[in-house]
Amino acid sequence: MLNLDIHTNMQSKDIIDMLRIVQMCDSNFPIGSFNHSFGMETYLRSGKINDINTMREWLDIFLSNQLVYSDALAIRMLYEYLKKNELDEIWKLDRLITVQSISKETRNGSKLIASRMTKIFLELYESEFVRNYENKIINGEVFGHPAIVFGLAMYTLKASEEEAIIFYMYSTVSTLIQNAVRAIPIGQKDGQLLIKEFSEKFKILYKKVENMDYSFFGCSTPGIELSQINHEVLDFRLFMS
């Protein structure tokens, strides 16, 4: 007999909380990230990214050699500061993660996404942490960065540090893949296969972040940073960064 009661251990509140998180991770969440490739388009224009395989290679390097040392590690640090109520450290973290980005376009793109993310999240939910961060952005006291907004939002929605980092990876990867679907282009089916493939790596990457010394914060791959800088001088562009 078919057992329809498969979620007896999951309360309805838990499901709603999860759906709130999933909504933020949707690549259609209107924060403007679909306008940014974070250096991917530079490789596209040079012909180094031209199909699903080369996109997979670039995304793996971006995720493993830049995002884990910047955004992902920043969320781990953010959670520590929130638990200790060390809010001043969060504002310092905002400056560190912003100035370590060499590319002007990437810095500006991150600020724009962060600003939109705070506004939309606060229209959906009330959060003292996000509200305080938004006020500091408006007053010019901090720059604004999507990893910090996302971390504050996940903390508000009672997500764990691990969940926050893994969901951030998913949100970033799914958006970049959807951008690749439009730009390379690759098929929607291939895009979904890539999302599944990378999703299966997130747990391993989280363990890397979990055990990482804070001295690694800001490490990156020169090739990716150069591609983000060189994007500014492309003759024709689909993306803002």
Above 60 in pLDDT, residue 237? yes
Cα separation, 193 vs 200, whole angstroms: 11
Choose which CATH entry (3.40.225.10, 1.10.4190.10, 3.40.190.10, 1.10.760.10) describes domain 59-226.
1.10.4190.10
Q: Does residue 77 or residue 222 have the better pLDDT?
A: 77
- The pLDDT, as a whole number, for residue 236 is 67
- The pLDDT, as a whole number, for residue 79 is 98
Cα separation, 120 vs 138, whole angstroms: 15
- The pLDDT, as a whole number, for residue 241 is 64
User: What percent of the chain is predicted at pLDDT more than 70?
Assistant: 94
In Å, the largest CA–CA distance within the chain is: 64
- The pLDDT, as a whole number, for residue 27 is 73
Q: For 114, what's the count of Cα atoms within 13 Å in the CB-facing half-sphere?
A: 28
pLDDT digits 0-9 by tens, 144-173: 999 999 999 999 999 999 999 999 999 999
Above 60 in pLDDT, residue 6? no
pTM passes above 0.75: yes
Cα separation, 41 vs 239, whole angstroms: 7
Mean pLDDT calculated for residue range 118-137: 96
